[in-house]
Amino acid sequence: MFAFALNRRRRNLKCRCDLLPANARAIARANAQGFTINLSADTLDEADELSRLKVAPVVTVLPPGQTGLSVTNDERSVVICPATIEGAGVSCATCGICANPRRRSIIGFPAHGSGAEKVRKVFYLKPESV
Ligand code: SF4
């Protein structure tokens, strides 16, 4: 499955897809050539998993209402997208952090709207043990 969101600067994409080796190579190549593709996670553990691949910067959804900095189990910082903070007056055009392919921080997007509670359930779901 592929889903892309193109930001206003048109310099970066957020990607949701099966990260097959060929996809990973193409994404890494695009990032190395200045067209930033972010990998998108549904949980902090998944964000750590994607970050460990060292293919691309990572974004994640967060539970609704979360406004503070988070840290993953692997001690990666999760910074809230400033455009989601009411009154911040920030947009992708003035921020642009998602377009930085060398970014170490994960960008977090608090869930909102009608699906926010469903996101909360998924976010706190414990992975099945093997
Ligand atoms: S972190 Fe910045 S660049 Fe990324 S989506 Fe939010 S406002 Fe846009």
List per-residue pLDDT tens for the chain, 130 residues long: 344 444 444 455 555 556 788 889 999 999 999 999 999 998 999 999 999 999 999 999 999 988 888 999 999 999 999 999 989 999 999 999 999 999 999 999 999 888 888 888 877 776 665 4
Q: What is the DSSP letter of 84?
A: G
Smallest Cα–Cα separation from 84: which of 106, 66, 57, 105?
66
Distance 62 CA to ligand 1 centre (A): 14
Q: Is the separation of the CB atoms in 44 and 72 below 8 Å?
A: yes
Q: Which two tokens stand for residue 48?
A: 């750590």
Enter the pTM of the model: 0.81
pLDDT reported for residue 80: 96
Instruction: Quote the CA–CA distance of 74 and 35 in Å, as a whole number.
Output: 27
pLDDT reported for residue 1: 31
The type of residue at 22 is A
Distance 30 CA to ligand 1 centre (A): 19
pLDDT reported for residue 121: 82
Mutating to test ligand 1, I would choose from 4, 11, 39, 95 the residue with most ligand atoms within 8 A of its C-beta, which is: 95
Looking at the chain, how many residues does it have?
130
pLDDT reported for residue 103: 93
The type of residue at 52 is R
Q: Which two tokens stand for residue 68?
A: 């503070």
Distance 84 CA to ligand 1 centre (A): 9
Instruction: Quote the CA–CA distance of 104 and 108 in Å, as a whole number.
Output: 13
Q: List phi, psi (to 5°) of 124.
A: -95, 5
